[in-house]
Amino acid sequence: MELYRGRRLWVEKKLFQLPDGQEKEAVVVHPGDAVVILPHEGDEFLFIKQWRSPIGSYIFEAPAGTMEEGEDPMQTAERELIEETGMAAGSMTALGYIYTTPGFTDERLWLFEATDLVPSREYSPDEDEVIEPVRFTAPQIRDMIRSGQIVDAKTICIFYRWMCGCSDE
């Protein structure tokens, strides 16, 4: 049963069958899939400082955004990178996906590494976003995660995924 439908997500209450055969009722949030991009040139990473209304604060995060109807994850990553940073990637590498909070949502975030960055104005920023591009080195990012200056889960996940798969450390 649909409980709510808005511009960005919908919520339903439904009956699930557990592996042991028991049935359970649960509320599931369906925000749609999204992408997260880790743009960098060598050891310098391009993040954003973004105002997030639900928490009433700016946070540092990797560029990200929701997939539009008809887009595949790569197309969304290319568009969102330009919208949020004003840079396009000459090379975009898929790093898999993560589930954000599978206890109540089916949202998947597709992860991408972006390199060979060049300025682009192909897409404009969304009108409702307050964003400032910022640059950090990998050691700075690690220190900011440790100290709690970076608290955005998707940003921590993509940076860790990149470190595990691409870093020599």
User: pLDDT (tens digit, 9 = 90+) per residue, 19-72?
Assistant: 999 999 999 999 999 999 999 998 899 999 999 999 999 999 999 999 999 999
SS3 of residue 69 by DSSP: coil
Q: What is the pLDDT of residue 168?
A: 41
DSSP string for 96-142: EEEES-TTTB--EEEEEEEEEEEE--SSPPPTT--EEEEEEEHHHHH
Residue 19 has, within 13 A of its CA and on its CB side, a CA count of: 0
Asked if pLDDT for residue 129 goes beyond 90, the answer is no
Confidence of residue 166 (pLDDT cuts 50, 70, 90): low
| CA angle centred on 61, ends 56 and 66, rounded to 5° | 85
pLDDT of residue 146 exceeding 60? yes
**What is the value of pTM for the model shown?**
0.90
Could you please state the CATH topology (level 3) that the domain comprising 31-166 is classified under: Nucleoside Triphosphate Pyrophosphohydrolase (3.90.79)
**pLDDT-derived band of residue 128, with 50, 70 and 90 as boundaries?**
confident
Q: CA-to-CA distance for 70 and 65, rounded, in angstroms? A: 15
Residues in CB range of 2: below 8 A, 6 or more apart: 10, 11, 12
Q: Which amino acid is at 130?
A: V
pLDDT of residue 68: 93
Rounded Cα distance between 50 and 47, Å, is 9
pLDDT, one tens digit per residue, over 57-113 is 999 999 999 999 999 999 999 999 999 999 999 999 999 999 999 999 999 999 999
